[in-house]
């Protein structure tokens, strides 16, 4: 069979591959400590499940509007106004099958052959692949631990060419957990406005912050940047709703209309009764979000302390998301070899940094129980002592 050329431009998601291998080992009865999955280990809060069940019982089982249930679009617009200082109405919002889908739809609506999209590395592994699938060219700008894995305004400015269409900002970041300060966000906004490009801000981890870190949504910096901003967000991380497949895109009406047309031919609306769970998530008390954040904070501390006590490994202290991005240079191994050996010999699953554009690091997720973290860190130490 001759497959379309576009398939050859992308590779399968390495995070999903390693997670699947770890799962298969677990199914065989092996005791695997898994730090690979990018999802909270908590169950979805009960009131959200109840709202979806009620909608199901009430017969909310039919096709809905492609852009989403009007009530949910309104609730999202309200959230963006109130929490993020973004002047959006329901018409500025489309509900999508997860944050991943919102980004993909947006790329299809915006990017074409010859367009360059600036992506700071380490990056979430789907960004460059989405750009390629849309026909554009990812322009990867590497960063390192010395700058907190953040792109500086000068690096951004230097990467812009006449072909640059879009800059992807992800704060808090997956895979590094780093958070841009409000001052850093403002400085990047200036460069974007000066050069008249667009920015998509992936804010899926905005609620998962530590040590007083503050999330500033770039569109709230001023009216000039607001018109050049697209927001991607979703329910997966803050509300532990990964399997529900619920996200959204917000931006200029013109773009939202275009993504709605695309979505109307691809998936139509997101599962109707699931959307009622999302309405409950946004409109009911937010205690569940804070409870999960507090649990993540305690795990982060334990994992960070044990990890930096291992000779040969180091990582900066992240103040967001639920990942540590660990420098393995001193072990002499590259990331894929490190992760494969670690999983095979010590039954610890981690994601090789090469998946995120940095082969000298690995990503560990602490969205798992404390006992697994303690056991896994001991195994990791034994592994590193053996290989170095
Ligand atoms: C998890 C994640 C998303 C979206 O995930 P969905 O499950 O599709 O909502 C988007 N961006 C980043 C960086 C993520 O880690």
Give the CATH number, domain containing residue 32: 3.90.1150.10
Work out the average pLDDT over 236-251. 98
Whether pLDDT at 264 is above 90? yes
Q: Which atom of ligand 1 is nearest to the CA of 97?
A: 8
Q: Which of 283, 308, 333 is the last residue of a domain?
A: 283
pLDDT over 70 percentage in the chain: 100
Give me ligand 1 centre to Cα 309, in Å. Answer: 31
Let me know: does 167 contact 118? Beta carbons within 8 Å: yes
Give me ligand 1 centre to Cα 99, in Å. Answer: 5
Mean pLDDT over the full length of the chain: 96
Whether pLDDT at 18 is above 90? no
Q: Whole-angstrom Cα distance, residue 149 to residue 352?
A: 16
Give me ligand 1 centre to Cα 126, in Å. Answer: 9
Nearest-CA residue for ligand 1 atom 4 is 99
Give me ligand 1 centre to Cα 356, in Å. Answer: 14
Whether pLDDT at 387 is above 90? no
Same domain, 116 and 173: yes
Nearest-CA residue for ligand 1 atom 15 is 174
What is the pLDDT, as a whole number, of residue 16? Answer: 75
CATH of the domain at 176: 3.40.640.10
What is the pLDDT, as a whole number, of residue 107? Answer: 98
Paired tokens of 366: 């602490």
Q: Whole-angstrom Cα distance, residue 330 to residue 1?
A: 45
Q: Which of 283, 316, 349 is the last residue of a domain?
A: 283
**Ligand 1 site residues, Cβ closer than 6 angstroms:** 38, 98-100, 124, 170, 174, 202, 204, 234, 236-237, 242, 247
Same domain, 260 and 332: no
What is the pLDDT, as a whole number, of residue 240? Answer: 98
Ligand 1 pocket test: which of 237, 296, 363 has the largest number of ligand atoms within 8 Å of its C-beta? 237
Nearest-CA residue for ligand 1 atom 5 is 99
Number of domains in the chain: 2
Helices (H), ranges, the chain: 5-8, 14-27, 46-57, 70-84, 99-110, 126-133, 153-159, 182-194, 223-226, 253-266, 272-283, 287-308, 335-346, 370-387
Q: Which residues pair with 365 in a beta bridge?
A: 323
What is the pLDDT, as a whole number, of residue 170? Answer: 98
Whether pLDDT at 324 is above 80? yes
302 vs 387 pLDDT, higher one:
302
Q: Whole-angstrom Cα distance, residue 303 to residue 88?
A: 39
Same domain, 29 and 71: no
Same domain, 365 and 273: no
What pLDDT band is residue 309 in, cutting at 50, 70 and 90? very high
Same domain, 40 and 52: no
What is the pLDDT, as a whole number, of residue 334? Answer: 96
Whole-number Cα distances in Å, 150 to 40, 82, 147: 24, 27, 6
Same domain, 303 and 345: yes
Same domain, 266 and 299: no
Whether pLDDT at 12 is above 80? no
Lowest mean pLDDT among 12-21, 95-104, 182-191, 212-221: 12-21
Nearest to 344 by CA among 383, 385, 386, 306: 383
Same domain, 104 and 31: no
Helices (H), ranges, 309-362: 335-346
Q: Whole-angstrom Cα distance, residue 193 to residue 198?
A: 8
pLDDT digits (tens, 9 = 90+) for 363-380: 999 999 999 999 999 999
Same domain, 39 and 57: no
Work out the average pLDDT over 210-230. 98
Same domain, 109 and 151: yes
Same domain, 317 and 379: yes
pLDDT digits (tens, 9 = 90+) for 106-145: 999 999 999 999 999 999 999 999 999 999 999 999 999 9
Q: Which atom of ligand 1 is nearest to the CA of 100?
A: 8
3-state secondary structure of 142: strand
Question: What is the domain extent for residue 109?
Answer: 47-283
Q: Whole-angstrom Cα distance, residue 89 to residue 278?
A: 17
Nearest to 177 by CA among 148, 198, 219: 148
Peptide bond into 172 cis (omega under 30): yes
Same domain, 27 and 122: no
Q: Which of 250, 265, 283 is the last residue of a domain?
A: 283
């Amino acid at each position: 069979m001759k497959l379309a050329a576009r398939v050859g431009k992308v590779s399968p998601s390495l995070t999903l591959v390693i997670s699947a291998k770890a799962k298969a080992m677990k199914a065989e009865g092996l005791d695997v400590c898994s730090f690979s999955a990018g999802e909270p280990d908590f169950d979805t809060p009960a009131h959200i499940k109840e709202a979806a069940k009620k909608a199901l019982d009430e017969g909310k089982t039919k096709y809905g509007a492609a852009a989403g249930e009007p009530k949910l679009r309104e609730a999202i617009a309200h959230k963006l106004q109130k929490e993020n200082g973004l002047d959006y109405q329901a018409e500025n919002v489309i509900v999508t099958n997860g944050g991943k889908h919102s980004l993909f739809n947006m790329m299809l609506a915006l990017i074409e052959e010859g367009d360059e999209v600036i992506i700071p590395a380490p990056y979430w592994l789907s960004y460059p692949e989405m750009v390629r699938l849309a026909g554009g060219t990812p322009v990867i700008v590497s960063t390192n631990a010395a700058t907190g894995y953040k792109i500086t305004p000068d690096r951004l400015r230097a990467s812009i060419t006449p072909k640059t269409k879009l800059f992807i900002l992800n704060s808090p970041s997956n895979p590094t957990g780093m958070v841009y300060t409000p001052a850093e966000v403002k400085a990047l906004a200036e460069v974007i406005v000066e050069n008249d490009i667009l920015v998509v801000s992936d804010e899926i981890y905005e609620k998962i912050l530590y040590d007083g870190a503050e999330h500033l949504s770039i569109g709230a910096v001023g009216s000039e940047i607001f018109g050049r901003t697209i927001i991607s967000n979703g329910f997966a991380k803050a509300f532990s709703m990964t399997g529900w497949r619920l996200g959204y895109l917000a931006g200029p009406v013109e773009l939202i209309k275009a993504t709605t047309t695309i979505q109307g031919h691809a998936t139509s609306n997101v599962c109707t009764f699931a959307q009622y769970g999302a309405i409950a998530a946004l409109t009911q008390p937010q205690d569940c979000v804070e409870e999960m954040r507090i649990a993540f904070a305690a795990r982060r501390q334990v994992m960070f302390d044990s990890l930096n006590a291992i000779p040969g490994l180091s990582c900066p202290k992240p103040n967001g998301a639920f990942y540590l991005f660990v420098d393995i240079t001193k072990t002499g191994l590259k990331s894929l070899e490190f992760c494969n050996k670690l999983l095979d010999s010590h039954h610890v699953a981690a994601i090789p940094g090469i998946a995120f554009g940095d082969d000298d690091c690995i990503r560990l997720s602490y969205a798992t129980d404390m006992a697994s973290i303690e056991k896994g860190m001991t195994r990791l130490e034994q592994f590193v002592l053996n290989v170095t």
